[in-house]
Amino acid sequence: MLDVQNLSTVFQVHSHEVTAVDQISFQIPEKTVVGLVGESGSGKSVTSQSILQILPPNGQIKSGQLHWKGQDLMQLSRKELQQIRGKEIGMIFQNPLSALNPVFTIGNQLIETICLHQNTSPKEARKIAASLLKKVNIPDPETRLDDYPHQFSIGMCQRIMIALSIASRPQLLIADEPTASLDVTIQAQILSLLNDLKSELNMSILLISHDLGVIAQHCDHILVMYLGKIVESGSPQDIFKSPLHPYTQALIKSIPIPDPNIKQAPELIKGDIPSPMNLPSGCRFHPRCPEKLSKCEKECPSLNTIKNTHKAACWLY
Amino acid sequence: MRRLSHFLDIKSSLACLFFILLALLAIFVPMIPSLDPNNIDLTQTLVAKPPSLTHLFGTDDLGRDLLIRSIYGARVSLLVGIISMSISLSIGTLVGLLSGYFGGRIDAIIMRVVDLFMAIPTLFLILTIQVLLSPSIYNVMIVIGLTSWMGVSRLVRAEILSIKQRPFISAARARGLPELKLIFKHMLPHSLTPIIVAAMLGMGDAILVESVLSFLGLGVQPPHASWGNMFENSLSFMRDAPWMALIPGTLITLTVLSLNFIGDGIRSMLDPKGHHA
């Protein structure tokens, strides 16, 4: 349904060109949850912003193609793009409190969004808004429509954000770290809500997270990103049972085991993420890689199919 | 109604009351023909008389009632304030919005134009125009409006620049909101607070400028009353008839002050978190 080919997104930072996303390709088929994992700064959010073309002013898609149901998203006019944003592709954000406009009631924002994409009278829109709130489990939806975002808890705000993004029944929902700012019990609520909505509305989800647990539980397909490149992709089975790329292996080893009887400390990846302003040559992971070959410093491996759905970008395979 | 209660602290309510009273008097008193500002009380001429029961604010050196003259003066002052503020606010907001939203080269060009306008000394420009054309209160309003929008546009621009970066704007864009709606519905209300405060201050400034002009004899021409020319008229009688200076002076001060308080009140009313200023 969504086909991303060789997408590169660059930022202008003090006359430097910083490549945040470099030549990535992936597909999101219908009714699937695709997970995108990686450390902070690996380009996950930039990827999602590139899809909807809502990059900050200094960001720009340099090359690549974005195909949405056969349409080239980058060739669309501003108006056509507005028709797709929100209506066919919805998006929820990391910090729900700041993603809602603080000066309007949530009813106002919901009704605005509903009227934008559907032909309804404001009165009907209000009814739809209330039913959306009910769908995301906000108690007493009729009266709460008149409340401002600051009158809700952060978990509720995220549910309102979800209500806003599913208002026009999009076929794809981009969830950019939807649980990053929530505590664990609320995380579970939000994720199960997303899961329910996914089957109810028959939509696909691009779930962006740095939480491997969340990804493992909810995704049909996983993409691992490191410094703007997809280094490995595969089913949860592939990624978690037989990770191929040393980075993925290290990521999985770094998950702490929540058992006081096991005294083994999680293994950390040595070194820091290099600055995207000054990327390493060849494979971007080589300065930190435990299994570095001499080739790794010179040439960048491409993402090759290793087995069925399992792909990795590494010279070891 | 809930929001109104944030507005009604004592300061801004009193200011509002004063302002409304002034406005009502300025609108309705001139409809009564018997209250002529140029009517001379022949029993009181030649020497200005202090406030008394027949003349609550006293009379001036020609025996004209100062209360009625003050009310006619309020008419001029409020009109100048409101009209020039409306002109400067419309231009300033629009320019600021464009500059802040589009940024880059457009912003740079617009801001240089603003700098250019800021370099024009308003008062001298108005003086020149008043001397070249015949002194007219409408020229004053337009010129004040056309030369005082730069502050507003800078405020709006700065506000938009910061709002533009906030996540709820990307979120609204991600929901497919068209740009005009984004600018006017989601960005403008956030910059409303500084705009309103600037509007109130600007209105006060305009009233002051008009007083200065009338004081210099280039604003409202006698025998028409304005606070500025009443004040000018009082200068030669300052020692014998201090009320002649005190009355227009106090009115100017109170009006400008109450405009500032109203600005404060509106600010706390518009704040959704309801902080009292």
Residue A300 belongs to a domain: yes
Q: Is the pLDDT of residue A294 over 90?
A: no
Please provide residue B189's backbone torsions phi and psi, each rounded to the nearest 5 degrees: -60, -25
Nearest to A284 by CA among A55, A81, A71, A39: A39
Q: What is chain A's mean pLDDT, rounded?
A: 89
Structure confidence at residue B266 (pLDDT): 80
The predicted pLDDT at position A152 comes to 93
Q: d(Cα A284, Cα A146) in Å, to the nearest integer?
A: 50
Task: Inform me whether the pLDDT recorded for B275 exceeds 60.
Answer: no
For the record, the structure tokens of A29 come out as 């088929």
Q: Cβ contact (<8 Å) for A102 and B165?
A: no
Q: Which of A98, A103, A104 to mutate to test the interface with B (most CBs of B within 10 A)?
A: A103
The mean per-residue pLDDT over the stretch A40-46 comes to: 88
pLDDT score at B44: 62
Residue A170 has pLDDT above 50, yes or no: yes
Q: What pLDDT was estimated at residue A34?
A: 94
**Strand pairing of A2-13 and A16-28?**
antiparallel
Q: Per-residue confidence at B272, pLDDT binned at 50, 70, 90?
A: low
At B68, which helix (H) or strand (E)? helix B66-102
pLDDT at B3: 61
The C-alpha angle with vertex B119 and arms to B116 and B120, in degrees rounded to 5, equals 100
State which residues form the domain around A264. 244-317
Residue A278 lies in a domain: yes
- Parallel, antiparallel, or unpaired: how do β-strands A59-68 and A71-72 relate? antiparallel
Q: Is residue A129 part of a domain?
A: no
Residue A169 within any structural domain of the chain: no
Residues linked to residue A176 through DSSP beta bridges, in sequence order: A208
Residues of A in contact with B164 (CB under 8 A): 57
Sheet (strand A71-72) strand order: A16-28, A2-13, A59-68, A71-72
User: What is the mean pLDDT of the segment spanning A68-82?
Assistant: 89
The enclosing H or E element of A21 equals strand A16-28
A120 domain-assigned? no
* Averaged confidence pLDDT in chain B: 85
Q: Which of A27-31, A44-48, B55-59, B64-68 has the lowest mean pLDDT?
A: B55-59
pLDDT digits (tens, 9 = 90+) for B74-125: 988 899 999 999 999 999 999 999 999 988 899 999 999 999 999 988 888 8
Residue A270 domain flag: yes
Residue B183 DSSP symbol: I
Asked if residue B277 has pLDDT above 50, the reply is no
- Give the ipTM of the model, two decimals please: 0.83
- CB contact (8 A) between residue B174 and residue A52: yes
Asked if residue A57 lies in contact with residue B103, where contact means CB atoms within 8 angstroms, the answer is: yes
CA-based nearest residue to A85, from A168, A183, A190:
A168
H or E segment at B262?
A: helix B243-270
Number of domains in chain A: 1
Lowest average pLDDT, out of A247-261, B31-45, B207-221, goes to B31-45
Contact between chains at B174 and A85 (C-beta distance less than 8 A)? yes
The 10 Å Cβ neighbour count of residue B76 is: 24
Residues B225-232 have a mean pLDDT of 87
| pLDDT per position as a tens digit, A206-232 | 999 988 888 998 899 999 999 999 999
pLDDT of residue B35: 76
Q: How far is CA A25 from CA A61, A234, A238, in A?
A: 14, 13, 19
Q: Do A82 and B189 touch (CB under 8 A)?
A: no
User: Kindly report the CA angle at A82 between A78 and A85, in degrees rounded to 5?
Assistant: 135
Supply the pLDDT for residue B224: 83
pLDDT-derived band at B46 (thresholds 50, 70, 90) equals: low
CB contact, 8 Å: B103 with chain A?
A: yes
pLDDT at B136: 80
Of A86, A101, A167, the CB nearest to B186: A101
User: Is residue A185 domain-resident?
Assistant: no
Closest CA to A182 of A205, A162, A202: A162
Which of B102, B175, B267, B275 is the best residue to mutate to test the A interface, defined by the most A CB atoms within 10 Å of its own CB? B175
Residue A109: is its pLDDT beyond 90? Answer: yes
Q: How sure is the predictor about B8, in pLDDT bands with cuts at 50, 70 and 90?
A: low
Higher pLDDT, residue B243 or B51: B243
Question: Is A42 in contact with A227 (CB distance < 8 Å)?
Answer: yes
Q: How confident is the model at residue B2 (pLDDT cuts 50, 70, 90)?
A: low
Write out chain B residues lying below 8 Å of A129, CB-based: none
Q: What are the structural domains, with CATH classification, of chain B? A: 76-244 (1.10.3720.10)
